[in-house]
Chain A
Amino acid sequence: MTFSVVVEVSLRPGIADPEGATIERALPALGFQGIANVRAGKCFRLSVEAASEAEALERAISLADRLLSNPVIEQSTARIEASA
């Protein structure tokens, strides 16, 4: 089966996020009030061939750990979006 998997990569807590901080600083000038703790990250959509959802997630997480994220500063999560 083919599973549609979404992998989200974000900076680990405590790691400074210059992109998020810059976005956050721009918000008041654009009229957005009351928005804080902006953290920027990346989102990947994958079509994964696997026998089960669990296996699809396992393969996506393995890819995320090896390539899509840098574990030194980033963490990643994977979820099934919908079976394609």
Chain B
Amino acid sequence: MTMRVGVVVFPGSNCEYDAASAIEAVGASSEFVWHGATSLSGFDAVILPGGFAHGDYLRPGALARFSPVMQAVEEFAHAGGAVLGICNGFQVLTEAGLLPGALQKNRGLTFLCQPSLLEVASTRSALTSRASVGQKLSIPINHFSGNYTCDDATYASLVENDQIVVRYVENPNGSRDAIAGVSNVAGNVVGLMPHPERATSALLGSRDGLVLLESFVSGQLATR
């Protein structure tokens, strides 16, 4: 059966077509879900794409977390459904409390739009079940607030529960421990700043995002 992936569209999202196209490239079907929707029934997985939801006013994700769809995303996540936040979607998931930590302005206050080399830190998440620990992936970043921040207690629990999913090989933005993406404790909710959906074809410079998206649509969650 083909996996059905809901791609949430907020006012100001701008990577929803890239995400949908990439999801179809790995053999799943996708459908846009407007942020006013109150149900995600019928979907096997959900993506919160990149962009500037609600203009990123106040803080990235701060207003989007109050969109009606986020209640449905929270219920979907708590029921064990796979949820992926990419870039702005990651920021929304942290603001909503579905992922730990927060994304601050980049060190140096520079908007970064460049290829980045990542290293897979855990294969326990919905995004990395088919990758291997230590695997290097070239995936672009495109953000101003990607500086992953958390307090010491949160960091210790991230390490203890194997929630650090991917790290930058060369930390571009000041993120704590070069963290590029994290999961919740269960591993079904994942957020990352780099854009795997933009690394799905040699024509785009890299196909390294495919293994992540294939993991995501495989419906597999490696058990602990």
Contact = CB atoms under 8 A, between A and B. Distances in A.
16 contacts: A12-B151, A15-B151, A16-B149, A16-B174, A18-B106, A18-B107, A19-B105, A22-B108, A67-B62, A70-B59, A70-B62, A70-B95, A72-B100, A72-B150, A72-B154, A73-B104
B163 to A, nearest CB: 15
Given A18-B106, A18-B174, A73 B62 contact: no
Interface in B25-64: 58-59, 62
A15 B150 CA distance: 8
A14 B59 CA distance: 20
Interface string B93-107: 011000011101111
Interface of A: 12, 14-16, 18-19, 21-22, 67-68, 70, 72-73
Given A19-B109, A73-B149, 20 more contacts: A15-B149, A15-B151, A16-B104, A16-B107, A16-B149, A18-B107, A18-B147, A19-B105, A21-B107, A22-B108, A22-B109, A67-B62, A70-B59, A70-B95, A70-B102, A72-B100, A72-B101, A72-B102, A72-B150, A72-B151
A73 B151 CA distance: 8
Contacts of A22: 108-109
Nearest to B174: A18
A22 B94 CA distance: 25
Contacts of B105: 18-19
Interface in B129-171: 147, 149-151, 154
Contacts, number: 42
Interface in B147-203: 147, 149-151, 154, 174
Nearest to B147: A18
Contacts of B58: 67-68
The 10 closest A-B pairs by CB, nearest first: A72-B102, A73-B102, A18-B107, A22-B109, A18-B105, A70-B102, A73-B149, A19-B105, A70-B59, A18-B109
A16 B94 CA distance: 18
A23 B101 CA distance: 24
Contacts of B147: 16, 18
A73 B101 CA distance: 8
Contacts of B104: 15-16, 18, 73
A19 B102 CA distance: 15
A62 to B, nearest CB: 15
A73 B147 CA distance: 12
Contacts of A12: 151
Given A68-B58, A70-B62, A72-B94, A18 B102 contact: no
B61 to A, nearest CB: 9
